[in-house]
Every structure is written in C-alpha cells, then in structure tokens.
Amino acid sequence: MDLLGILQSSSSSSSSTSDENVEVIPNVILPELLQELSKNENFVENTVPLYNEQQFIQHFRLSRQLVQQLKVEFETSEYYPKKDTGFKRITSEKCILAFLWFSANEAVSLRDVADRFDISVSTLHNIVDNVAKFLSNKANEVIVWPSPVECRRICEEFTQMGFPGVIGCIDGTHIRIDTPSEDAESYINRKKYHSIQMQVVCDNRLIRDVFIGYPGSVHDARVFRNSPPCNSLAEVCLLCDSAYPTLRNLLTPYKDTGNLSSTQKKFNKNLSHCRVLIEHTIGLLKQRFRQLYHLKSRNVYFICHFIRACCVVHNMCTRNNIEEYNVDEMENENREEIINILNDDVQEEADEVGLNYRNYVAAILDI
C-alpha cells in the first residue's frame, strides 16, 4: 500500500479505534514506508559496497577492479563533464555503474535506472550517451586483430579442427531499434521490424572486429564487401554461413540441393560445428547486455556507439575471465530469430579461387 492509502486507511478507521492504536501508524508503519520510498538514495554509496564480488559482477558485468579502472580513465577523458553547473556533480564511478546497469537489463527504462541511482532522467540520458562514446572510442585498444603470434596459435587450433589457414568466424546480427528519425524504411528487415546491422569477427575467445551501421534491409554479403576485413584478410580465412559469397578468404557451406557427396556433407557438418563459436559469442554478448535485444532509440549515431561500447566491455570480460552467464534454453529459442536473418533471394557471385580452396579443405577433412 502506498503512503496515500495508509493515511486514508488510518483516517477511516480512527472513529472505531483507540488513540493508542492510531499512534501505531505514524510511529511504526510510516517509518518503514519512508524507508521503502527512499531505498534508492545513496545506492552507489551505501548499497553497492555491500555486494560481494559475484553479486557485483551479476549486476554490472565487470569486476570491481575493472570498474575502478574505467572510473579513472573516464574521469580524465573528454567525455566526463568538467564544468561546475551549480548542481551536485555526479561521480565518475556512478556514471560507469549507471551505464552498466542500464545496458545489462532489457526491461528497465531510463526512468527506472534514474530512480535507482537517484538522478534525473535527463542526467542519466547524458551519462549513457557520454559513457557509450567513451567506451566506444576504446575499441581500438580492446577490439584488435590478432597479432602474428596470436594468428599462429589460432590457425593451429582451427587446423586441428580440419580448417587450415582459418583465424576465426564471421557473422552478422540484427539489433532491433525504434523507428529511426531518418530514412526509416531502409531499416526494416525481412522480419518486418527496424534493425541495424552488426558484423562480428571472432576467434575462440574474443571479438576481433566489429562493423556497425548498415540498415537492416542490407544483405550480409554487401555489409562484408564494404567492411575493413574484406580487404585485410590476405591469406587467412574466416568461416561463415551461406549468406556470404564463397571467396578465397571466406569458407561457406555447400548448398544442399539433395545431391551432396559424403565429402561435402562432412565438410558442412564440421563447418557448422566450428561456427558455434560465433553464434555463442553473439548470443553471450546479447545476454550480457540485454538492451541489445531491443535498443529503444531512434538516434543511429548513438546506437552505433552504444553497440560498440557493449562489445568493448564484452572483450574486457573475456580477457579477464569474468564468469559467463548461462543462457536459458527456452530464452535461446525465443531469441534465435534475431541472431541472423538470411536473405535467400540475394545471390552473391562466388570466386573460383574460393570454390577451389573449399574443395581442397573438404578433401583434407575427408582423409
């Protein structure tokens, strides 16, 4: 019952109760109620320190040590307000924690998070925007292509799985968004909702490249053709699905028209097994940062920064062995449709060198 309800109840019952009983309301019930109403005051100062490490990671995805590291970096960055506006200044720690809390929870609104952190909605909006840009601009430090030493290690791991010269997997995923403020029609994908494309390259641990910004109506193959990895793979390969063209540096499955050879079937099976890496990475990214299931914004510029910021924090979790979050099987089934939307009516021209290399790899697998 809210405060108004309690006062109304006490007023209606006062004629039939003694003065002694009436005094119970202000002396006992109201203090408990006021404590409930003010439970979010000093949340960062009083409640968060009571969390053990596991609880802290569950709520904020990062460890305390990593949050403190980000706090210091954010405070000295251009994105942390330096001017005195006449109001109580929001600490850099509260800014980082508020962003992480918001990004990790799908159901919460800006108003919910603002209430929890005892700040105004407009202030939280600015915090989320500033922290997203701050983290997004750390991508060059955190989301990096494997070094030569790492490439050799990764290639060896994929060679043992039957795919020589492979350094990772590539896939696209759709991030549901609100109707964009400009060119809204181009963001409607084949599932008939507005989305923005995110192309991810990963190895068995980390996101190695992320390319964000194309509207949901654009096919995965076109996104790849215009992304940096298209021209930087050189002699190495990525595993991908049938949404991509078969090139020297893209290994795709054989199209199954009912007459595949045993060699081709084995190749497809092994490729599908290895591609679990990218599906798991994208699924875990969205499970960690559930705002990515539906990012309720119309500002494409902000959306791109926010998505990249989540990828940065994801890699920080992975590099520091932060515990992964188990995805409920039923939830996975419900989410599966938004991981990748194939556009079957778009046919990309295959590369003859790529077709020959795929046959070569398939033959090796069949030995």
- For residue range 276-319, list pLDDT tens digits in order: 999 999 999 999 999 999 999 999 999 999 999 999 999 999 99
Query: Does 238 reside within a domain?
Result: yes
**203 and 222 within one domain:** yes
pLDDT-based confidence at residue 36 (cuts at 50, 70, 90): very low
Q: Is the pLDDT of residue 239 over 60?
A: yes
Q: How many domains does the chain have?
A: 2
Q: How many CB atoms lie within 10 A of CB 154?
A: 20
Question: N- to C-terminal Cα distance for the chain?
Answer: 72
Expressed as residue numbers, the domain containing 262 is 140-365
Averaged pLDDT for residues 233-258: 92
- Residue 85's pLDDT is what? 54
For residues 106 and 296, what is the distance between their CA atoms, to the nearest angstrom? 10
Asked if the model's pLDDT at residue 11 lies above 70, the reply is: no
Average pLDDT value for the chain:
85
What is the signed CA dihedral for 246, 252, 255, 258, rounded to 10 degrees? 140
Identify which has the larger pLDDT, 265 or 31.
265
Over residues 212-237, mean pLDDT = 92
pLDDT of residue 244: 95
Residue 341 banded pLDDT, cuts 50, 70, 90: low
> Do 194 and 84 have their domain in common?
no
Indicate whether 17 belongs to any domain.
no
SS (H, E, C) 61-129: CCCHHHHHHHHHHHHCCCCCCCCCCCCCCCCHHHHHHHHHHHHHCCCCCHHHHHHHCCCCHHHHHHHHH
Residues 93 and 160 occupy one common structural domain? no
Residues making up the chain, counted from first to last: 367
pLDDT at 161 over 50: yes
> In the listed set 82, 109, 137, which residue is the last one of a domain according to the structure?
137
Query: Does 2 fall in a domain?
Result: no
In the predicted structure, residue 27 carries a pLDDT above the cut 60: no
pLDDT at 59: 96
Task: Give the pLDDT band of residue 104 (cuts 50, 70, 90).
Answer: very high
Residues 191 and 324 reside in one and the same domain: yes
